[in-house]
Amino acid sequence: MSVLTRELVESVHPAPLADEGGTVERASDEELAESLAAFLRQRPDRGPVWLFAYGSLMWKPELPILEKRIGRLHGWHRRFCLWQWRYRATRENPNLMLALDRGGCCQGMVQRLSLRGLHGQLSTLWKREMIGRGYRARWVSVATARGPVSAIAFVIRHDGPRYAGRLPDERVADYMASACGYAGSAAEYLLHTWETAERAGVRDRYLRRMQGLVAQRLMALRDARRA
């Protein structure tokens, strides 16, 4: 199997691209505040609040994290099924981001948030994850070696234009190998996610397969440019 590396990614995508501007409908501050308030009213208990991380939140949570554990979420699986036309993509070369879709299970990382200033932390998180109207927030129960925890998970919205459905892995890899935006390349996002998962002991055959497929396509793009 081909292996994705930073050197390979940078041989095809050496630098970010210029920002093309807004291409995704964004939720307003008022919508985000209402969504968060409604979500907090559904909080199952007054115990610790955990965040279930399965993609970039594993390596870039941007929140103070008090504790981390490996956890398994049943009933959901990670999949590159969320369209992205900005950030790590453009309209000409769209990208697919990770989301949780129905069925199966997902091994990831649960991160315990500080209860001090919790609302402010979650407001920041909502502006990151919910502004593009691609996710829904859910309270979920995640199994860990020290027992189940109640966690926040961001799952795919099936009712919006950003849901890509179950595209073949090979087609997803085509998009990801080509996509780059002002925040970097899609392949870099995959590399960070896969490497972080491996270091943490999160074993995921899907991530391993996708990094191999994207690596193959990047090598083909690199060799074509050198020819």
Whether 129 sits among the annotated catalytic residues: the reply is yes
C-alpha–C-alpha distance, residues 105 and 103, integer Å? 7
C-alpha–C-alpha distance, residues 52 and 80, integer Å? 17
Determine the Cα angle at 18 with ends 12 and 21, to 5°.
130
Dihedral of alpha carbons 11, 15, 18, 20, sign:
positive
Helix, strand or coil, per DSSP, at residue 94:
coil
Contact 51, 113 (CB under 8 A): yes
From 20, 31, 129, 198, the catalytic residue: 129
C-alpha–C-alpha distance, residues 89 and 16, integer Å? 10
Active site amino acids: 129
